[in-house]
A and B are shown apart, each in its own frame.
Chain A
Amino acid sequence: MKAAVVVFPGSNRERDIALALQRASYTRPVYVWHGETELPAGTDLVVLPGGFSHGDYLRCGAMAALSPIMDAVKAHAARGGYVLGVCNGFQILAEARLVPGVLMRNASLRFVCRDVHLKVEATDTAFTGGFKPGQVVRVPVAHAEGNYFTDDETLNRIEGEGQVAFRYCDADGAVTEAASPNGSARNIAGVFNAGRNVLGMMPHPENMTEDVVGGTDGAILFDSLAKALA
């Protein structure tokens, strides 16, 4: 798997995700500065990491979505290339219209950093092939704007077409309002584009890939990608 991690001014989890990719694929990803206009030749996977690109000023992800590299990312996605956006990366994907919906301020109006449980809703994708259908996994979130929103019609459509990747749930897998850290519509934690080659998600699987930091559930996502893109 040849992966490229885009670094925007203000990205701060690029190293975390690069290490998770490296653990899964035994290949070191390449960092690409947001001001570049081309991805390295042969890139299989582009990752937009977490952080506060451009300080989250204007609107989270709004300015990064206009960075020079984003044309190349869009072209890569249009060709069927894989793109993963985590946290601020998800916000950037939403602003770039590469995945449906928007991320609003958390319902609590506060930043939230804690472990959450996710129910895996789709396992027939390159990102999630290693999960069991309906599997409940534990990974952390760390964000202030993760409240997923779109209109009911779109929600119905993406649910119908298998574009929901993960939902917040409790430890037993029950999808309840209390289990959501941010008030997301229908507890959505991650969504695919229509082609399911682009995934945006708020939780941080990259921070849950070793027993010593609290668990390995997040590693399944990177292992899935490494296997699918081997």
Chain B
Amino acid sequence: MTKITPEIVAEHGLAPDEYARVLEIMGREPSITELGIFSVMWSEHCSYKSSRLHLKKLPTTGPQVICGPGENAGVVDIGDGLAAVFKMESHNHPSYIEPYQGAATGVGGILRDVFTMGARPIAILDPLRFGSPEHPKMRHLVSGVVAGIGGYGNCMGIPNVGGECTFHAAFDGNILVNAMTVGIAQQDKIFYSAAAGVGNPVVYVGSKTGRDGIHGATMASAEFDEKSEEKRPTVQVGDPFVEKLLLEACLELMAGDAIVAIQDMGAAGLTSSSVEMASKGGVGIELIMDDVPQRETGMTAYEMMLSESQERMLMVLKPGREDQARAIFEKWGLAFAVIGKVTDTGHLVLKHKGEVVGDIPVGPLTDQSPLYDRPWERTPKRAVIDAATVKGSDDLGATLETLLGTPDLCSKRWIVEQYDHLVGGDTIVRPGGDAAVVRVRDTATKGLAMTTDCTPRYCLADPVEGGKQAVVETYRNITAVGGLPLAITDCMNFGNPQRPNIMGQFVGAIEGMAEACLALDYPVVSGNVSLYNETMGTGVQPTPAIGGVGLLEDYTRSASIRFKAAAETILLVGETAGWLGASIYLREIAGSEDGAPPPVDLAAEKRNGDFVRGLIRHGEVVTCHDVADGGLLVAVAEMALAGGIGATLSTPETEVPPHAFWFGEDQGRYLMAVPPDRVEAILDQAKAADVPVTVIGTTGGAAISVDGRHKVSMSALREAHEGWLPRYMAS
């Protein structure tokens, strides 16, 4: 038997005091297999040891919530006996090392999380953060990540309808690849992971187990250094075809009543799935490792327990249902094996070649996992920038053209077109606008609005306001298509939590998010934490990516951003103070990333959102856009470009300097375009609702002009907007 030395313990990423706790729990020196199990279960990735304490502060309940965080995905009531099931996860570390497979298996993992719950996935969304476009590796990373996401999702036949893609040097050493899946399940057919029924068979289905991905969870729980390239073998390789078969086979079996519990094998594979199932059910599980379907010969129990081979599931079946289940999986050409049984011992017992190679009490393994109250320091407040002191713009049209051609604001068509966003035939509002809208099958007129948002530069400047802003931007994007925001999933991407300033960012973001969720009745139902997004001591910008899901009772009454007709009146909802701190204008035009980010007024967000949503739901508004990155003029240009119709704008009477009025990033704002004969009624309603609405212009023409002086042609804007990304990728 392998002698466990301090070196072996360190290689497994366990701190000395953590190993002392292992010895205490076991009452003896663990076997190498047992040590491996402790190491992955107690890794940051699986145990949330640095974040658990703070995640508890997030609101997770509400009348719409069927299942909050803790299961494979969150479950929300959408009426008609149906539920939306969704979650977002990160696959940052693997995607940097091997972009195609890292991103592909990220998509595969989150799809599995959703269909494990009994839901058919209906959409994928992918927020991506890349480093500086000039970084020598970046083009390769963009190309590989996008191809990997497309390669997996397209083959699965799940439309990819949204996400974000921005660039900043802070992500040079650690790109962020997050993936969200939304699925639909019947409320009475939701599957959970708690094992039950002593003697019930534990069944393994899906791909065979190989040596790929061993210690992936441990890799995701450490900083990168110059040797990270050597970690390539720990990146898993995906097979979307097998996952498609697994999806269909699982849903076919789930239509019956043979399953007691089901859990996908994601990070830490067989270990985390069996431990989770036993722990949630308060039972033991015995596994016969010889019966695990194996891709390679001579695999040890250690390797099998720690493999992260993809496209695998663990199930507990009702007694006597093995043959029924086997027939379904064999029809789909998938491995099926009874590899163990549920026991009453409360232990995870592993037998291999006639010997017990692991025997761990499940309760202590999970309950006594490390929990750290890491020291943290609050992020110092930045000074508010007076817009009057920021370099102005002599030609708003030319400035707009410049901004639309920047990496963050340019069209992401090059990416979107590599994802099948139409398969299924239910995509009502396509990607490229605010939220996407996907029709809910087997209902009369229901649709789901979905979006992912976060503004890392705000979060860096002020994690509390940034956390709030990420939540409210999803709220606004869902509202802007006519959806009622229901709940969110979060993917918390931060640096090394052992640094008090990073931990302070995390704590601050949670605080802001919690405040926004409470104010908007918009709870968190699932999520993921990705720490150690840090290379050689430099962390990423804090990025609490938020995925929001909302409900449209009638998808025929949705709005989209494109101008639909000329001679419509353009209305601005919300207050404009001309906030330039931490804005894109400040960064791209004035060359500074300073300043406090725009404050979020949650009461105004709710008021303005309810007002806009009401108009869309009553069919009074079909053209709407949330005002976000780049400010008002950028938002107008996005609507104009989407519709191929220009706009004539005039600056209302204001104290705000023109560059701040048109490019400031004040929150809580929307743009709407409506026929002129509707304007008066809308202004009256706005007054009654205490919502500021201002007429700022008219649609029409082949240019965007402001106050008759500043003018830029639509063709120039289109060239700037569409040109950057394809040119960058081809260069």
**Size band of the A side of the interface?**
20 to 34
Q: Is the CB of A16 within 8 A of B425?
A: yes
| Distance in angstroms between the alpha carbons of A214 and B432 in the assembled complex | 14
- Chain A residue with Cβ nearest B151: A111
Stretch at the interface among B42-50, B153-161, B455-463, B479-487: B153-161
**Size band of the B side of the interface?**
20 to 34
Q: Is the CB of A10 within 8 A of B241?
A: yes
Contact A57 B241, CB 8 Å, known A111-B150, A113-B420, A142-B422: yes
Q: Is the CB of B241 within 8 A of A142?
A: no
User: For B241, what are the chain A residues with a Cβ–Cβ distance below 8 Å?
Assistant: 9-10, 52, 54-57
Minimum Cβ distance to chain A for residue B294 (Å): 21
User: For A51, what are the chain B residues with a Cβ–Cβ distance below 8 Å?
Assistant: 157
Q: Is the CB of B333 within 8 A of A112?
A: no
- Chain B residue with Cβ nearest A206: B425
Q: Is the CB of B244 within 8 A of A12?
A: yes
Minimum Cβ distance to chain B for residue A87 (Å): 10
Does more than half of chain A's interface fall in helix, strand or loop, or is it mixed?
A: mixed
CB < 8 Å: which of A10, A20, A54, A140 contacts B422? A140
* A167 close to chain B: CB less than 8 A: no
| Distance in angstroms between the alpha carbons of A20 and B150 in the assembled complex | 25
Minimum Cβ distance to chain A for residue B553 (Å): 15
* A207 close to chain B: CB less than 8 A: yes
| Distance in angstroms between the alpha carbons of A155 and B145 in the assembled complex | 38
User: For B333, what are the chain A residues with a Cβ–Cβ distance below 8 Å?
Assistant: 9
User: For B425, what are the chain A residues with a Cβ–Cβ distance below 8 Å?
Assistant: 15-16, 19-20, 206-207, 209, 213
* A157 close to chain B: CB less than 8 A: no
Q: Within B230-248, which residues are at the interface with A (CB < 8 Å)? A: 239-242, 244-245
* B335 close to chain A: CB less than 8 A: no
- Chain A residue with Cβ nearest B239: A55
| Distance in angstroms between the alpha carbons of A214 and B426 in the assembled complex | 11
Q: Is the CB of A113 within 8 A of B155?
A: no
User: For A213, what are the chain B residues with a Cβ–Cβ distance below 8 Å?
Assistant: 422, 425-428
* A132 close to chain B: CB less than 8 A: no
* B556 close to chain A: CB less than 8 A: yes
A-B CB pair tally, cutoff 8 Å: 85
User: For B417, what are the chain A residues with a Cβ–Cβ distance below 8 Å?
Assistant: 110-114
* A119 close to chain B: CB less than 8 A: no
* B721 close to chain A: CB less than 8 A: no
The 8 A CB mask of A95-126 against B (1 = contact, 0 = none) is 00000000000000011111000000000000
* B423 close to chain A: CB less than 8 A: yes
Contact A55 B419, CB 8 Å, known A19-B425, A212-B428: no
| Distance in angstroms between the alpha carbons of A52 and B241 in the assembled complex | 8
| Distance in angstroms between the alpha carbons of A19 and B241 in the assembled complex | 24
* B424 close to chain A: CB less than 8 A: yes
User: For A204, what are the chain B residues with a Cβ–Cβ distance below 8 Å?
Assistant: 422
CB < 8 Å: which of B147, B426, B427, B556 contacts A110? B147
* A13 close to chain B: CB less than 8 A: yes
User: For A110, what are the chain B residues with a Cβ–Cβ distance below 8 Å?
Assistant: 147, 417-418
| Distance in angstroms between the alpha carbons of A114 and B154 in the assembled complex | 13
Minimum Cβ distance to chain A for residue B418 (Å): 5
* B613 close to chain A: CB less than 8 A: no
Q: Within A60-83, which residues are at the interface with B (CB < 8 Å)? A: none
Minimum Cβ distance to chain A for residue B146 (Å): 9
* B93 close to chain A: CB less than 8 A: no
Contact A113 B421, CB 8 Å, known A56-B155, A212-B555: yes
Q: Within B533-573, which residues are at the interface with A (CB < 8 Å)? A: 555-556
User: For A54, what are the chain B residues with a Cβ–Cβ distance below 8 Å?
Assistant: 241
Q: Is the CB of B420 within 8 A of A142?
A: yes
CB < 8 Å: which of A55, A57, A112, A214 contacts B430? A214
Shortest 3 CB-CB contacts between residues of A and residues of B? A12-B157, A55-B241, A16-B425
A-contacting residues of B (Cβ < 8 Å)? 147, 150-151, 154-157, 239-242, 244-245, 332-333, 416-428, 430, 439, 555-556
A-B contact pairs, 25 of them (CB 8 A): A9-B241, A9-B245, A10-B155, A10-B244, A10-B245, A12-B157, A20-B425, A52-B154, A52-B157, A55-B239, A57-B241, A110-B417, A111-B154, A111-B417, A113-B421, A113-B422, A142-B154, A204-B422, A206-B425, A207-B422, A207-B425, A213-B422, A213-B425, A213-B426, A213-B428
